Structure formats: structure tokens, C-alpha cells
């Protein structure tokens, strides 16, 4: 039964999931859209190639901000007085230079008009319509950080539109405030991402155009294929191993020291060495133990398909992934056993009063090992969901860990935000599950736990 304190704690856990998740969403968007100065690329060092290459670069930047038409980051926006409201229409790579230009112009209305015109030119280039400027000229203008640089670029042009003239002739606004506060309503990035994640409209897509939710489910299948079996098997092995050798202190101490030795080796070192020495066929019989891993996503629609087509290639990644959670389980169980031995009747005493060894192990001690398991289960949920980034990268497994890494490195905002939110929610739910199970099994008057 749930006691009053237990019920209040679980309710509190459930209630904080919403503010924590929303805070994580806001912080993630802030990191993507605000902190980096010249996001993804350094616009001052871009080598100009053909016009087609420049256009592709701009369109790549456009794809990296799927909800760019929002007016700001949050419902309320607080900006430096000279910064225009329409800054999100500028591709991320050029925002740093546009901000610097805005500081010199000191006229938000003029900069807003300039950005709207630039965005219109970009859209015209994108759809093959007639434009006032070539992609090369537009690219050079967007790189300018001062009016002098802008003037130098204009001198090389035969013509320039009226927007440029107004920009160059603009005077600082007399009523320009130090800070500009704006109400963005529902037309902001935070609200747009929240709506897209909750309802699926507008759909969040990866840089390749695939829906993020579809790729997430496919990547989840690959992650579960090699993590879930070894987590369950590893837990069972360690669980029965510790229970069996409960009264043999020397054996448990030896295994504890061995676990510390193996735990000190970084995962990426073990995975790399295993890939080279066990699969490369360079070192005779030793290197041919496991087949070289080669995973192809096409034609795989279920876990059964993965095991049927790539089961042998998954054996080595499974073994390497199992090392860390098995050591974690063992160290937690080992500490719990030592705690029980200090605070509970000894094994020999219970045998003396007629309790069998197996009954003591599996009906008494197992209760405490279950509690230790539930204490770390929330982190294990994230481990299963995210997989091992190192192992997925080294063995080229198309799982969630690799998906998250590639999303961050490619500045795929939609995918990164989606994955981080899913991981955060799952971990919070894992905390709720852990608290409930610990209370259930460790409550003294628990009847259904089967303890003595």
C-alpha cells in the first residue's frame, strides 16, 4: 500500500516532470540559437566557390532552422535596442555579422527592412525567380560587419537596390533604447517546437527531409537490439553470482578488485582494440573470432529482422556494451551485501535456526538486491534509450546514440531537441518508477514482496 509520504513524493515527482522538460527545451533552443556567435560556420573564412555552391550553402543553412519564421526565441523577447525583430530570417551562419552591423546602424526599423529584403532575395534565388543581385553579391553583403565593409562591397557592383541606399544613409534612431522588449505571442520558437513535438504539426524533419519521429523509432529499434538483451542477461548473471557467493568474502573481494581494474579502461579503448584485434583478420585466428560489423538500415522493419540479418555482427558490440552495466550492478550489489551483513543477522545464525541457504539467499537477500537495482533503474532507462555512443560510432550501428551525435555535429536542431526531450522525459519517468518500486519492496509491512 502507498503511505502518505510515499504518495506525496510520487505526486511531486510527477508534477516536476512538466517544468523540468519545458526548461530543458528552452535551454536547448537557447544554446542552438543564441550562444554560438557564428553558428556552424565562420562566415569570415568561407571560401567563395561557384554561384551554385554558394546557393547550396545558403539552403543548407535554411534547412538547419526549420521554424525560422518565428519572431523570437520565447513568448517575451529581450534584446539589445539595435537588434532587429526579424533576425531569425537570417541564416545562422550570417547572424553574427548582421548583429555587428546592427550595432553600428543603431536603427532597428532600418535593419528590419534590410533583413526582410535580404530574405526575399534568398527566397527568389531558391525558387529560380528574377533577383536584383547574384548569389555571390548577396553572400558578400551578408558577410559585412560594418558600414565601411558594406560600402567596399557596393563599389564593385554596377547597381544596388534602394534598401542598401537607405541602410547606408540611415541615421541612428533618436529614441533608441538600450533594451528592446517584445511580446512574440505564440509566434516563437519555443511554442513552435512544443506544438511540433506534441501534435506533430508542423512536422519536425531531419536535414535529409525525413520526419524526426520516424527516424527516432527506427534508431530505437537498433539500440534496443543490442542493449536490452545484454542488460537483462548481465543483471541476471551478476544477481545470482553475488547471491551465490554471499558468504565467501574473499571471492567477492577478488571480483570487486577485478571490476575496478576493468572499469578503469575507457570504453572507446576497449571497443577499438576489440574491433581491430577480433574482427580485422590481421592477426591470424585471433582476429577472425567475430565477423566484421556491417549494418544496413534498408530492409529492416523489426527486431527480428535485425537479429536474423545481423545477429552475428551484434555479438561483439553486445559483449562490450555489457561490461559497464555489469560492473555497475556488481559494485552496487556488493556494497548492498556489505551493508546487510553489518546491520542484519548473519547467514550462519539464520542457518542455525533452521532457515535453508537458498531460502536465505533468494527470499531474504534478494529483497535488498532488488532495492539496489531499482535505485539505478532510471539511469539504465537512459542507457537503453541512448545506447552507447562510443560503441555505436565505432561499430557503425545506426542507433540513438549515433543519431544524437550526428544531429549535434550537423546542427540538426529539430532532431537534437526531439532526442534530448525524449531522454529527459524517460529519465524523469524512470525516477518515478524507481521511487515506487523501492517503497514497494522496502516497506517493512510489504506482504507481496515475498520476503521473510
What is the Cα–Cα distance from 245 to 131, expressed in whole angstroms? 79
Q: What is the pLDDT of residue 227?
A: 93
Residue for grid cell 557503425: 396
Q: Are residues 122 and 82 in the same domain?
A: yes
Per mean pLDDT, which range of 8-22, 186-200, 244-258, 349-363 is the poorest?
Answer: 349-363
* Pair 374, 445: CB distance under 8 Å: no
State which of 199, 226, 249 marks the end of a domain.
Answer: 199
Q: What is the pLDDT of residue 2?
A: 57
**Which has more confidence, 443 or 195?**
195
Number of domains in the chain: 2
Q: Are residues 162 and 282 in the same domain?
A: no
Q: Look up the CATH number of the domain holding residue 412.
A: 1.10.3720
Four-residue CA torsion sign, 311, 313, 314, 316 = positive
Q: Which residue range forms the structural domain that includes residue 244?
A: 212-442
pLDDT in tens, 218-271: 999 999 999 999 999 999 999 999 998 888 888 888 988 888 887 777 888 888
CA distances from 23 to 11, 30, 383, 420 (A): 19, 10, 22, 12
Q: Are residues 180 and 220 in the same domain?
A: no
Residue for grid cell 541615421: 171
State which of 159, 178, 199 marks the end of a domain.
Answer: 199
227, three cell numbers: 542493449
The pLDDT of 6-29, averaged and rounded, is 86
Look at residue 13 and tell me if it is in a domain: no
Q: Are residues 189 and 217 in the same domain?
A: no
Percent of the chain exceeding pLDDT 90 equals: 20
Angle at 311 between CA 310 and CA 313, to 5 degrees: 65
pLDDT in tens, 320-369: 999 888 988 998 898 888 888 777 666 666 666 777 777 778 877 888 88
Q: What is the pLDDT of residue 451?
A: 40
Q: Are residues 407 and 429 in the same domain?
A: yes
Share the mean pLDDT of the chain: 80
Phi/psi zone of residue 9: left (φ > 0), alpha (ψ -120 to 50 degrees), beta?
alpha
Q: Are residues 169 and 287 in the same domain?
A: no
3-state secondary structure of 77: strand
Residue for grid cell 555512443: 389
Q: Are residues 227 and 329 in the same domain?
A: yes
Look at residue 36 and tell me if it is in a domain: no
Global pTM value: 0.79
Look at residue 313 and tell me if it is in a domain: yes
Residue for grid cell 535551454: 27
Q: Are residues 175 and 232 in the same domain?
A: no
Q: What is the pLDDT of residue 315?
A: 94
What is the Cα–Cα distance from 401 to 390, expressed in whole angstroms? 8
Look at residue 2 and tell me if it is in a domain: no
Q: Are residues 305 and 413 in the same domain?
A: yes
What is the Cα–Cα distance from 218 to 397, expressed in whole angstroms? 12
Q: What is the pLDDT of residue 345?
A: 62
Angle at 297 between CA 269 and CA 402, to 5 degrees: 35
Amino acid at each position: 500500500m502507498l503511505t502518505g509520504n510515499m504518495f506525496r513524493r510520487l505526486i511531486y515527482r510527477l508534477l516536476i516532470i512538466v517544468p523540468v522538460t519545458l526548461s530543458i527545451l528552452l535551454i536547448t533552443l537557447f544554446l542552438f540559437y543564441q550562444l554560438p556567435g557564428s553558428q556552424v560556420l565562420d562566415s569570415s573564412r568561407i571560401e567563395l566557390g561557384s554561384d551554385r555552391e554558394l546557393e547550396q550553402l545558403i539552403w543548407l543553412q535554411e534547412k538547419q532552422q526549420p521554424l525560422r519564421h518565428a519572431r523570437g526565441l520565447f513568448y517575451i523577447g529581450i534584446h539589445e535596442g539595435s537588434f532587429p525583430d526579424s533576425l531569425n530570417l537570417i541564416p545562422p551562419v550570417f547572424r553574427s555579422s548582421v548583429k555587428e552591423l546592427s550595432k553600428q546602424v543603431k536603427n532597428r526599423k532600418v535593419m528590419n527592412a534590410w533583413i526582410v529584403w535580404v530574405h526575399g532575395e534568398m527566397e527568389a534565388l531558391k525558387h529560380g525567380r528574377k533577383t536584383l543581385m547574384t548569389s555571390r553579391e548577396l553572400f558578400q553583403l551578408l558577410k559585412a560587419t560594418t558600414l565601411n565593409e558594406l560600402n567596399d562591397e557596393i563599389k564593385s557592383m554596377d547597381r544596388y537596390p534602394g534598401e542598401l541606399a537607405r541602410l547606408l544613409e540611415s541615421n541612428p534612431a533618436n529614441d533608441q533604447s538600450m533594451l528592446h522588449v517584445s511580446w512574440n505571442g505564440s509566434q516563437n520558437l519555443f511554442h513552435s517546437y512544443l506544438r511540433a513535438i506534441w501534435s506533430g504539426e508542423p512536422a519536425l524533419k531531419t536535414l535529409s527531409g525525413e520526419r524526426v519521429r520516424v527516424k527516432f523509432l527506427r534508431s530505437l529499434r537498433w539500440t534496443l537490439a543490442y542493449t536490452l538483451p545484454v542488460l537483462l542477461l548481465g543483471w541476471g548473471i551478476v544477481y545470482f553470482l553475488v547471491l551465490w557467493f554471499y558468504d565467501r568474502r574473499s571471492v567477492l573481494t577478488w571480483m570487486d578488485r577485478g571490476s575496478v581494474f576493468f572499469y578503469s579502461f575507457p570504453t572507446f579503448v576497449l571497443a577499438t582494440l576489440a574491433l581491430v584485434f577480433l574482427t580485422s583478420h590481421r592477426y591470424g585466428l585471433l582476429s577472425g573470432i567475430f565477423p566484421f560489423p556491417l549494418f544496413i538500415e534498408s530492409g529492416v522493419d523489426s527486431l527480428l529482422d535485425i537479429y536474423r540479418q545481423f545477429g552475428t555482427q551484434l555479438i561483439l558490440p553486445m559483449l562490450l556494451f555489457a561490461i559497464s552495466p555489469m560492473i555497475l550492478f556488481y559494485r552496487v550489489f556488493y556494497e548492498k551485501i556489505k551493508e546487510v551483513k553489518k546491520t542484519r543477522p548473519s547467514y550462519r545464525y539464520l542457518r542455525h535456526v533452521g532457515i535453508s541457504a537458498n531460502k536465505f539467499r533468494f527470499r531474504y537477500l534478494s529483497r535488498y538486491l532488488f532495492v539496489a537495482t531499482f535505485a539505478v533503474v532510471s539511469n539504465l532507462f537512459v542507457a537503453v534509450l541512448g545506447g552507447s555512443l562510443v560503441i555505436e560510432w565505432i561499430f557503425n550501428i545506426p542507433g540513438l546514440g549515433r543519431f544524437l551525435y550526428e544531429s549535434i555535429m550537423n546542427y540538426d536542431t529539430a532532431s537534437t531537441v526531439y532526442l534530448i526531450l525524449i531522454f529527459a522525459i524517460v529519465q524523469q519517468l524512470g525516477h518515478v518508477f524507481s521511487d515506487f518500486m523501492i517503497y514497494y519492496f522496502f516497506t517493512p509491512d510489504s506482504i507481496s514482496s515475498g520476503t521473510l
